[in-house]
Amino acid sequence: MFIVDNYSLAIVFCFITMLCWGSWANTQKLAGKTWRYELFYWDYVSGILLLSIIFAFTLGSIGENGRSFIADLSQAEPRNIGFAFLGGIIFNAANILLTTAIALVGMSVAFPVGIGLALILGVLINYIGAKKGDPVFIFLGVALITLAIIINALAYKRMSRDNQKVSTKGIVVSIFAGVLMSLFYRFIARSMDLDNFVNPAAGMMTPYTAVFIFSLGIFISNFLFNTLLMKRPISGKPTNYKTYFRGKLSIHMVGILGGIIWGVGNSLNLIAAGKAGTAISYGLGQGATLVAALWGVFIWREFKNAPRGTNLMLGVMFLLFTLGIISIIYAGT
């Protein structure tokens, strides 16, 4: 299987993760013009599963190092399979809430609040689980990103006070999404031998197998979570499967593309974790908050009617996010 063998390449993979995790929601914004987010989400999770299968039989099955996908899956212990599957269930619950929050308050708010919170808690959880990297620079980076999130929240409050009603529900949903999102990565990391991808311990899985099981957890749990959400949505009127199957192929493909984009980032992040460590790999990946905020501010113009001074606050937010990311990268050098 393909294995990252140096820290620099691991950082490149984490940056690609950042771009993917921060950009997939654009497909929801595109589909959301004519398509309910609950219906979009079915295509999204299908895209994640499809990408995991493609990677498993390509990058996960080539080369002489490590175990190929089929061999690795056949020897995996049920306990480790369970960890990865549970990670998928937790992620799915968190991501459905995040998708709901995006529909309520937009990318430039849902991501900094939800994913920013997930970054803070997730780095702490993953560093405790696998102590790798300089803790001073890791937590300095987390502190800077925390300040960026607070400034973003204040900027949104100013805009809402002057131009529109504050969506308290959207903020609360974002917070719940962030707390859950901080937990999933540790479970999938627990199922792998992070210290040795070349000759992983018996019973443990390679990143490709773990991602496949994780993706199955997302897809299968969606029959429960998203069905409930379709019948009792947090926002809007109930919808149904008849509406989903009446959707045009083009609108379905937008959702599948969103899942593939997120899945590429997830796979590369876990492949990189062997060299970078889970705290650094996860922390950089969740720098997606910055990417999503850039999309929300400059492309979707979610702050276009903000009062004077808001742009300065957003500039400070972006600067603090950038410094925080640099600090996390330096922690692994």
Domain for residue 296, yes or no? yes
Please spell the DSSP secondary structure of 39-101, one letter per residue: HHHHHHHHHHHHHHHHHHHTGGG-SSSS--HHHHHHH--HHHHHHHHHHHHHHHHHHHHHHHH
Domain for residue 2, yes or no? no
Q: Of residues 322 and 92, which shows the higher confidence score?
A: 92
Q: Which domain holds residue 320?
A: 7-330
Helix, strand and coil percent figures for the chain, each rounded to 5: 75, 0, 20
Predicted confidence at residue 206, as pLDDT, reads: 94
The pLDDT of residue 147 is above 70: yes
What does the pLDDT average to over 230-251? 91
Which residues, 6 or more positions from 293, have their beta carbon under 8 angstroms from its beta carbon? 107, 108, 111, 112, 152, 314, 317, 318, 321
The pLDDT of residue 160 is above 80: no
The least confident of 145-159, 215-229, 230-244, 308-322 is 145-159
The pLDDT of residue 32 is above 90: no
Domain for residue 213, yes or no? yes
From 186, 221, 216, 205, select the one nearest 78 (Cα to Cα).
205
pLDDT-derived band at 45, boundaries 50, 70, 90: very high
Helix (H, G, I), strand (E, B) or coil at 191: coil
The least confident of 17-26, 79-88, 189-198, 307-316 is 307-316
Q: How many domains does the chain have?
A: 1
Domain for residue 114, yes or no? yes
The least confident of 35-49, 191-205, 276-290 is 276-290
What does the pLDDT average to over 74-98? 95
**In three state form, how does the secondary structure of 110-158 look?**
HHHHHHHHHHHHHHHHHHHHCCCCCHHHHHHHHHHHHHHHHHHHHHHHH
Domain for residue 90, yes or no? yes
Predicted confidence at residue 122, as pLDDT, reads: 87
From 188, 14, 19, select the one nearest 92 (Cα to Cα).
188
CA distance 314 to 99: 23
Domain for residue 1, yes or no? no
Neighbouring CB atoms inside 10 A of 107's CB total 26
Helix (H, G, I), strand (E, B) or coil at 117: helix
What does the pLDDT average to over 230-254? 92
What residues are paired with 192 via a beta bridge? 205
pLDDT-derived band at 40, boundaries 50, 70, 90: very high
By the 8 A CB rule, do 112 and 305 touch?
Answer: no
Domain for residue 26, yes or no? yes
| Maximum average pLDDT range among 98-112, 123-137, 163-177, 244-258 | 244-258
Neighbouring CB atoms inside 10 A of 72's CB total 23
By the 8 A CB rule, do 10 and 18 touch?
Answer: no
Helix (H, G, I), strand (E, B) or coil at 192: strand
The pLDDT of residue 16 is above 90: yes
Phi-psi region of 133 (alpha: psi -120 to 50; beta: other; left: phi over 0): left
Helix (H, G, I), strand (E, B) or coil at 205: strand
Q: Which pLDDT tens digit goes with each residue over 89-143?
A: 999 999 888 878 877 877 667 777 887 788 888 888 988 888 888 999 989 988 9
Q: What average pLDDT is seen over the chain?
A: 88
Helix (H, G, I), strand (E, B) or coil at 216: helix
Above pLDDT 70, what percent of the chain? 96
The least confident of 70-84, 105-119, 178-192, 306-320 is 105-119
Residue given tokens 């498993």 in the structure block: 56
pLDDT-derived band at 57, boundaries 50, 70, 90: very high
From 14, 2, 6, select the one nearest 69 (Cα to Cα).
2
The pLDDT of residue 59 is above 90: yes
The pLDDT of residue 163 is above 60: no
Domain for residue 97, yes or no? yes
Q: Of residues 299 and 121, which shows the higher confidence score?
A: 121
Predicted confidence at residue 108, as pLDDT, reads: 66
